[in-house]
């Protein structure tokens, strides 16, 4: 079981897609264990995207991510990182398959609606940037035995 960071970017918030995207994660069986609407500061955006600092799109990315509120989520489940990234679809909406979040809601190659951590290390780092201690609250759910085959004691 792992927890990953998901950011519903300014375009998703402005287009009123938050509920529809969150529902997809919950419908899949993933658990929302943290959520907040926030404005990302220039400093937080710079820290979050520091790996891209030398890339030509960096300034535009920081400007976009700080232009409007975002919804940050902590999403928990078995293989949550891989499952969430598959649900998100290809980075560019024009290349994303139908049935994915970007494939169903996006067409832009600049505004791609959603961010998801790409590894357990990135998830730990990113969750620490966006959530303070106590803001991510894993809890037992009665439905877990129906989402995952727990007959062996561990989720399948």
Write out the catalytic residue numbers: 115
Q: Which helix (H) or strand (E) holds 73?
A: strand 70-77
Residues composing the chain: 156
* Alpha carbon distance 136, 34 (integer Å): 5
Tell which phi-psi region holds residue 7, choosing left (phi > 0), alpha (psi between -120 and 50) or beta.
Answer: beta
């Amino acid at each position: 079981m792992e927890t990953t960071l998901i950011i519903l970017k300014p375009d998703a918030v402005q287009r009123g897609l938050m509920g529809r995207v969150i529902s997809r994660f919950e419908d899949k069986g993933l658990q929302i264990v943290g959520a907040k609407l926030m404005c990302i500061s220039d400093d937080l955006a710079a820290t979050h995207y520091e790996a891209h600092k030398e890339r030509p799109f960096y300034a535009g990315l920081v400007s976009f991510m700080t232009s409007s509120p975002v919804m940050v989520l902590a999403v928990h489940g078995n293989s949550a990182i891989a499952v969430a990234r598959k649900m998100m679809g290809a980075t560019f909406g024009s290349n994303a398959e139908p049935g994915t979040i970007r494939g169903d809601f996006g067409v832009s190659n600049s505004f791609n609606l959603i961010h998801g951590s790409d590894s357990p290390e990135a998830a730990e780092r990113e969750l620490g940037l966006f959530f303070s201690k106590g803001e991510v609250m894993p809890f037992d759910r009665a439905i877990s035995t129906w989402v995952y085959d727990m007959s062996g004691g561990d989720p399948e």
